Amino acid sequence: MKVIAISTFEKQGGAAIACHRLITALNKFDVAARLLVQEGSPAPAPFVLTTSETRLKKLINFCRFVYERLTFFPYERSQQVRFMFSPANIGEDVSGQPALKDAEIIHLHWINHAFLSIRSLKKIFALNKPVVWTFHDMWTFTGGCHYTLDCTHYESVCGNCPYMRNPRTKDLSHRVWMKKKKILDNQKIIIVTSSRWLKDCASASSLLAGKDIRAIPIPIDSKKYMPLDKALVKNKLGLDHEKKYILFGAANINNFLKGFPYFIEALKKLVEISDASGCYEILLYGKATEEVMSLLPLTAHNFAFLASEEKIIDLYNAADVFVIPSLQDNLPNTIIESFACGTPVVGFNSGGIGEMIDHKLNGYLAEYKSSVDLAHGIKWVLENDKYKELSQHARQKVLNEYNEEIVAARYKQVYDELMQG
């Protein structure tokens, strides 16, 4: 069967990485899958196609993105939510792409950042081909926000949006919601969410009433992401063998959903409650300013942006614990990556994180928004006499649930059902 997946980026951002890993796995296990993106990476995979081959087209893409942001600017509650809401009022028409015409199945992924508009989606649906849509956040079934936090308006009809400067019944979120309703009401698609949590949210949305919704996780190459010799990795990174390392990473540490302030408060509490805190240091990757670094109460090593997967794998292996205090997240790649390298994880019981961390088996599931419990979780992992067992359970979780062959087989079953009508 011929499958064409559609994603804004090839490897930029968690959703793109997850999509790329899935398409890689499918091709390993007898599914002819290609990936259409707006802009590929500098060295795209053989299965990647792009709509932007020229500098002019890339400039047009950028202008589209700026236009979309400018149209949202008058409505946004604050700069903090600027990139957390996508009106999808502008995008390109990819329905005429030869890869879509040739495909037997169209597989949508994360298509925002002014790549596809709601009108673009309507044209794709008009091709009358079987469609699978993997959700990487909540955008598809809300009035435009990517994560709703405490808001449940999407369960009935959006409006009075907390992301809006002046929320009201028929605000921008309501208008976007109505546009989505028009194209989704009679559209037969199979929806896949990466986490069971997101499946439950999608099932509760009135926009998706009656739709076939399933939960299938994203895979990882467990032969690439795997445990390495800690001593050798620490040597390679220039780290102290006598120290224990706490890892935190995010593309943008200042994104409020990543919960970095809770991480800082947890570290301060850790220093208070642990007699061994003098042996702990921090490993950071992502966008972090000197001002942010100065807030950390322990010595920190900032690795900034990591373009090399090898370096990322080294960091997970050098770390003794990975901490993810996200306020809402789907099925974070970072947890899967950490587990694959045998590194236990401490995180809040929020979103899909609650189904990934098995409390006190492969990590510690902290009380939501409790920096104190987060600190206790970090201490519990770092000072655990059975740390080796935690590490083994973390690795086994990946082999049991996020294995490439297992996930590819589940998606192949979805495709087979669509092909059979």
* Contact predicate 24/55, CB 8 Å: no
Is the domain defined by 230-401 classed in CATH 3.30.56.10?
no
- Kindly tell me if the per-residue pLDDT of 421 is higher than 80: no
Cα 3 to the center of its chain, rounded Å = 22
The pLDDT confidence band at residue 244, using thresholds 50, 70 and 90, is very high
What Rg do the C-alpha atoms of the chain give, in angstroms? Answer: 22
- Kindly tell me if the per-residue pLDDT of 182 is higher than 90: yes
pLDDT tens digits, one per residue of 17-31: 999 999 999 999 989
Q: Where in the chain is the domain with CATH 3.40.50.2000?
A: 2-219+403-419, 230-401
Quick one: tokens of 180?
A: 């989505």
Cα 205 to the center of its chain, rounded Å = 20
Contacts of 380 (CB under 8 A, 6+ apart): 360, 364
Residues in the chain: 421
- Kindly tell me if the per-residue pLDDT of 252 is higher than 90: no
pLDDT tens digits, one per residue of 315-331: 999 999 999 999 999 99
The pLDDT confidence band at residue 276, using thresholds 50, 70 and 90, is confident
The dihedral built from the CA positions of residue 167, 169, 172 and 177, taken in this order, carries a sign that is positive
pLDDT at 313 (0 to 100): 95
- Kindly tell me if the per-residue pLDDT of 242 is higher than 80: yes
Rounded-to-integer distance, Cα 363 and Cα 351, Å: 16
Q: Which of 107, 141, 120 is nearest to 31 (CA)?
A: 107
pLDDT tens digits, one per residue of 209-219: 999 999 999 99
Q: Which of 265, 267, 258 is nearest to 285 (CA)?
A: 258
- Kindly tell me if the per-residue pLDDT of 288 is higher than 90: no
β-strand partners of 102:
none
Mean pLDDT of the chain: 94
pLDDT at 203 (0 to 100): 96
Contacts of 411 (CB under 8 A, 6+ apart): 22, 26, 31, 132, 192, 216
User: If you ran DSSP here, which 8-state letter would residue 281 be given?
Assistant: E
The pLDDT confidence band at residue 375, using thresholds 50, 70 and 90, is very high
* Contact predicate 94/124, CB 8 Å: yes
pLDDT at 295 (0 to 100): 86
- Residues of the chain above pLDDT 90, percent: 86
pLDDT tens digits, one per residue of 215-231: 999 999 999 999 999 99
Based on the number of CB atoms within 10 Å of its own CB, is 344 exposed (0-12), middle (13-18) or buried (19 or more)? Answer: buried
pLDDT at 420 (0 to 100): 87
* Contact predicate 383/274, CB 8 Å: yes
pTM of the model: 0.93
Using CA atoms of 404, 406, 408, 412 in order, give the dihedral in degrees to the nearest 10. 170
pLDDT tens digits, one per residue of 407-418: 999 999 999 999
Q: Which of 417, 355, 418, 411 is nearest to 109 (CA)?
A: 411
pLDDT tens digits, one per residue of 40-93: 888 889 999 999 989 999 999 999 999 999 999 999 999 889 899 999 999 999
- Comparison of pLDDT for 43 and 397, the residue scoring more: 397
Instruction: Return the HEC string of 352-364.
Output: HHHHCCCECCCEE
Choosing among 1.10.287.540, 1.10.1070.20, 3.40.50.2000, 3.40.50.300, the CATH entry for 2-219+403-419 is: 3.40.50.2000
* Contact predicate 90/111, CB 8 Å: no
pLDDT tens digits, one per residue of 331-372: 999 999 999 999 999 999 999 999 999 999 999 999 999 999
Return the axis-axis angle of helices 309-318 and 230-237, rounded to nearest 10°: 120
Return the axis-axis angle of helices 14-28 and 404-419, rounded to nearest 10°: 80
